[in-house]
Amino acid sequence: MCNEDKFVFLISGKPLSMAIKYYAAIVNLLFMKLNVPNQLTIIRILLTPLFVILIISENTSYQRIAGIIFLIASLTDWYDGYFARRFHLTSRWGQFMDPLADKVLVSSALLVFAYLNLAFWWMVLIIIIRDFLVTFLRSFAMYIGKPIITSFIAKWKTFLQMAYIFLILIYINIPSLPELRIEQLNRPYLAWSNILLLLLVIMTTISGIHYVVVNRSHLFELFRRLINLLNRT
C-alpha cells in the first residue's frame, strides 16, 4: 500500500470515524462548561491536528481543504477576542489558553513547512522556541498580576508571520507555480519564501530580546520562585 493509499484509508475508513467520535465527545464535554470565547479557542486547538494531517498528505484537494481549515482556525482567534471584549467574557483560563492555542496553530504550520522542505528547520525552530518562551513569560506575568503589553514590533512580527503562512499555503495550492522546495533550488536562501522567513526570524529575535529586557523584573521574580521551590524540596 503506497503512502497516498494509506492516507486515503486513514481519512475514509474506521480511523476517521473513531477520530470524529473522539472529537465530538471532547467538544460536547467542554462546550457545556465554557463560554463562547473559550469555545472558539478549543475549536482552534481541535482544528490544528486536522490541518496538519491534511497538509502533509501532499494531495492537492486535501491541501486546499487544509488551507481553508487554517483560515477558519485563524478567524476564531479574532472572534474569541471580540466576544471576550464585547460581552466582558474574559477569564484567566481564556487568557492563558488563547495565546497558547495561537502558538500551537502557527507552530504546527511552520513545522509542516519544514517537514515538506519548504522552510529551513533552524529558522522554524528559532521562531517556535522564542514564541513559547514569550508565551510562558506572559502567562507567568498574568499569574502574578502584572500582565505584559504586546510591543509594537511583536505585533508586526505576528502580522508578518501570518502573512508568510498564508502565502505559502496559497503557493502550495497552485501547482503551476515554480518549485519552492529547498532541495529543488540552486540558491535556496535567495528564494522569496526564505528571504521572508529570514526577515521573520530577525524580527522574532529582536522582539524576543525586547520582551526579556523590558520585562526582566518578571524573569528575576520567576527565577526567585524557582530557587525557593528547589530549596524546599
- Dump pLDDT digits (tens) for 196-228: 999 999 999 999 998 888 888 878 888 888 888
Task: Give the DSSP per-residue string, 27-48.
Answer: HHHHHTT--HHHHHHHHHHHHH
> How far apart (Å, rounded) are the C-alpha atoms in residues 133 and 212?
10
> How far apart (Å, rounded) are the C-alpha atoms in residues 80 and 45?
13
Q: Structural domain boundaries of the chain? A: 92-232
More confident site: 143 or 111: 111
Give the model's confidence band at 19: pLDDT under 50 very low, under 70 low, under 90 confident, else very high: low
Percentage with pLDDT > 70 across the chain: 83
- Dump pLDDT digits (tens) for 68-105: 999 999 998 888 777 777 767 777 777 778 888 999 99
Give the model's confidence band at 29: pLDDT under 50 very low, under 70 low, under 90 confident, else very high: low
Q: Which residues of 181-206 are buried (b: 16+ CB within 10 A; e: fewer)?
A: ebeebeebeebebbebbeebbebbee
